[in-house]
Structure 1
């Protein structure tokens, strides 16, 4: 009887081991099916990007792609400093990101709304009681969505010594500025309107705008190489170039001291991908409900929300994000929520003939196609 019981126990152990092995094999196979070898696209990406760089004679370029919060491609091309032949390193080389900075401003305001410090559908005059009264009222939401009817830029130049707009004379400039359309009607892209949002944030927090954006967004997104463009450039900051008569020149000093709400930040392509993932997984910084409000289109053709471009690419795939351009730099950040893809690109020259869309759409199409084939 004892021998029989021991045999039964032995059989049970064998069965349990078999079941355990089957479970391990099953889950290993399942996880193997989900793992996609994106490296098969690397060579094709390299050729596409290098062809693009040579076509537009771009000094230096960095590009990064992530899938489900993991980098799957990140490379530098050309030079961050042409004279010294310094290579571009996507994790370290900082470029000017231009208006991608507007997304950080928008998320900062969304966070302040969650903290009950403002409501974006209310009048700007409720919070800035010293702002000169104009013919029309303006809401925070209209400023965020570029529907406040304000001019694109007030100052004629951002060069050091030539910039005639500062925090000290902003209210007087607002008094002198005429509306170009009635607020809430037309989409009219306005860096000047975002400067007003910067004034608002400083009034609400009692802190410099750069400090608030760092605490509420940049630090929470884990961005270690995203800083204000204050002219204090370290060895990892790219040179900023312009082209005149087929010759490269270095952009002279620019004054960003009052331009941190609409632009004037430096970042790396890998930091921008991190930023994109902090938007993709929105509850890292603000609630999903708050982020949904930012992405809700406000203009007539449904391509711009509150600080974010929201539209479909050439292949019909929905994305949100922003692009940017400033002296000596151009940028683009695209986030594809359905497939959890983020792509960023940065270059160290501003050239209005350069359009990133065709390149980025083609690269993303390859990743989306590979994801689909792996399902």
Structure 2
């Protein structure tokens, strides 16, 4: 009898302890208060006055938790920047290459362990190690030994028009519209021995696969490999296999794919816009989307990390997020396929998986916490180099979203 009584007491204690440690669901009223606090803190950041417009979206595996825009999309400050505002997202675009790469492999069109020259219409070799082939996975992990020479990569930036207003700034490396060429021609000119921009300095002394060095050109080359292997241009391949399944209806690779009335101008500062431009190497940084639409993609990445994504099979997602360790400045850094693993970002300590990006007039960040399964997107339409307080404002924005995540996670 005593034994039965003791078991009963233990059961009650265990149940009581379990109840105390279960997370209390957040009520709609409580969630609204937390969201209002984030909006207040983001407004405080915006009042620093350096950023013209930005948006923030916070998601989990089920979808959006928070999304809101701040500021404006035009120099007259008449059109509000919202979570539906569209702009290019710079290097976050590379995360779509990762998904596309494994989709092409699932379709039997390629294998990431294959040499790139198995698929390309021209031959690319490192002249310092011509006997060692560059593999597709070398492009995916930024270990291809291809490096971005400024004088070569800058040729990717193409102006939309020849004439510009006084309040539109033009970088000296921007190229005229008539210099626009195909992605394939750009790679041929840049990376093949007979190319008109070819230089041996485009290749490292390190062997392919030996050293990690971030390369935009190599990332765009990976998209060209996908094109060549599938027989389908990269734009339509991503539309078919990423955008349509996720219903990212406000996203695309050019002005033809989006509602241009919702597109933001990009700014140097409040007095000067940056002239409209596009990228020949568009897969590495030219994706156009809104924070709300990109939130659909981030939710998919969170689900994919857990093995529940819809775009790829479980095994493909496992390979996408499989950590590869690379030494850098005496420390080890971890990367997946066009994916970063971080323990901090903008001075905020946190476990994060994702990518960030910058281009003229653009700063972006997209990361999720693998433990809490909560992710944040920040899109900014203002350059980080012209005004000293842009970075402090971005840091304040990121801290506000981090505090928000911590609160809802409690």
Q: Do both share a fold (TM > 0.5)?
A: yes
How far 1:370 sits from its partner (Å)? 3.5
| Structure 1, unpaired ranges of 5+ | 1-30
1:346 maps to what in 2? 379
Q: Distance in 1 between matches of 2:76 and 2:214?
A: 36
1:67 maps to what in 2? 60
Contact kept? 2:75, 2:271, Cα under 8 Å: no
Matching of residue 222 in structure 1 with residue 247 in structure 2: yes
1:15 maps to what in 2? none
How far 1:284 sits from its partner (Å)? 0.9
1:6 maps to what in 2? none
1:51 maps to what in 2? 44
1:146-165 paired onto structure 2 within 5 Å? 146-152=142-148, 154-157=152-155, 158-160=157-159, 161-162=175-176
Q: Is the alpha carbon distance of 1:303 and 1:350 closer, same or farther for their aligned partners in structure 2, counting shifts above 3 Å? A: farther
1:234-249 paired onto structure 2 within 5 Å? 234-243=260-269, 248-249=271-272
Q: Is the alpha carbon distance of 1:169 and 1:351 closer, same or farther for their aligned partners in structure 2, counting shifts above 3 Å? A: closer
1:366 maps to what in 2? 404
TM-score normalised by the chain length of structure 2 = 0.75
1:40 maps to what in 2? 33
Partner of residue 87 from structure 2, selected from 62, 86, 95: 95
Moved more, 231-240 or 322-331: 231-240
The higher radius of gyration belongs to 1
After superposition, the C-alpha distances for 1:99-125 in whole angstroms (9 at most, x for unaligned) are 111000110001111122111122112
Matching of residue 288 in structure 1 with residue 288 in structure 2: no
Contact kept? 2:138, 2:209, Cα under 8 Å: yes
Q: Is the alpha carbon distance of 1:110 and 1:369 closer, same or farther for their aligned partners in structure 2, counting shifts above 3 Å? A: same
Q: Distance in 2 between matches of 1:71 and 1:98?
A: 22
After superposition, the C-alpha distances for 1:337-363 in whole angstroms (9 at most, x for unaligned) are 322212111111121464546642552
Contact kept? 2:63, 2:295, Cα under 8 Å: no
Q: Distance in 2 between matches of 1:316 and 1:240?
A: 30
Q: Distance in 2 between matches of 1:255 and 1:315?
A: 32
Q: Is the alpha carbon distance of 1:122 and 1:342 closer, same or farther for their aligned partners in structure 2, counting shifts above 3 Å? A: same
How far 1:230 sits from its partner (Å)? 4.3
1:26 maps to what in 2? none
Partner of residue 185 from structure 1, selected from 198, 207, 210: 210
How far 1:97 sits from its partner (Å)? 0.6
Count of aligned pairs between the two proteins:
337
1:126 maps to what in 2? 118
Matching of residue 143 in structure 1 with residue 139 in structure 2: yes
Matching of residue 336 in structure 1 with residue 384 in structure 2: no
Q: Distance in 1 between matches of 2:144 and 2:181?
A: 19
Q: Distance in 2 between matches of 1:152 and 1:230?
A: 27
Contact kept? 1:93, 1:238, Cα under 8 Å: yes
TM-score normalised by the chain length of structure 1 = 0.82
Q: Is the alpha carbon distance of 1:255 and 1:68 closer, same or farther for their aligned partners in structure 2, counting shifts above 3 Å? A: closer
Q: Which secondary structure does the structure 1 equivalent of 2:336 belong to?
A: coil
Q: Distance in 2 between matches of 1:67 and 1:130?
A: 43
